[in-house]
Amino acid sequence: RSVWSPDFAPKVGVAIADGGLIVVAGNDAPGSAFPGGSGRLRFIDLEAGLEVQSLPLTGTLRAFATDAADGRWIAGGDFGVVLSEASGAAAGPAFAAAAIGGVPARVALCGPYWARLAGTQAALYDRSGVLQGQFSVAATRVADLACSADGSRIYVGGDRQVNANLRVAYVEAYDPSGAMH
């Protein structure tokens, strides 16, 4: 039986949490543009086919990432960032967008750390929200980020406008202070 609502667009991400739950991240009433609508995390017991919890977020959900090794997840959007508890089966710490340097376009988990991308600025935080390092990437567009399990490297990718007719794609690695490796 279906647990989906026609007004919910699970376009952002899915995570597998402890206890047989999956976490579906999407936006209610997204309209025709992505991202749009109001963010929501839905916790679904697949065995029973039931939604066991629904967590509305204040604003549009823009990014969602998971750590498949332990079931943790991170959600980012107009509201800032929400981390999961250790099992991934519920929400944990939350940080407002103003407290983390802006609305994240992308987020990533890095072991005991998490990273966010806002425009061309990347930042690394510990789980309690303490900034560990940040830097700007000299690029036309930074499209995504990932990080190493120990938080020692932040990887960014996107493109640079070289001239009127040429954009060049890149993937680069930085330490949290912004030194390129």
Mean of the per-residue pLDDT values for the chain?
A: 89
Per-residue burial over 51-84, b = 16 or more CB atoms within 10 Å of its CB, e = otherwise: eeeeeebebbbbbbbbbeeebbbbbbbbbbbbbb
pTM of the model: 0.88
Enumerate residue ranges in the chain where pLDDT < 50. 1, 6
Q: Give SS3 for 178.
A: coil
Q: What pLDDT, in 10s, does the model give residues 77-99? A: 999 999 999 999 999 999 999 99
**Residue where the block lists tokens 């967590």:** 55
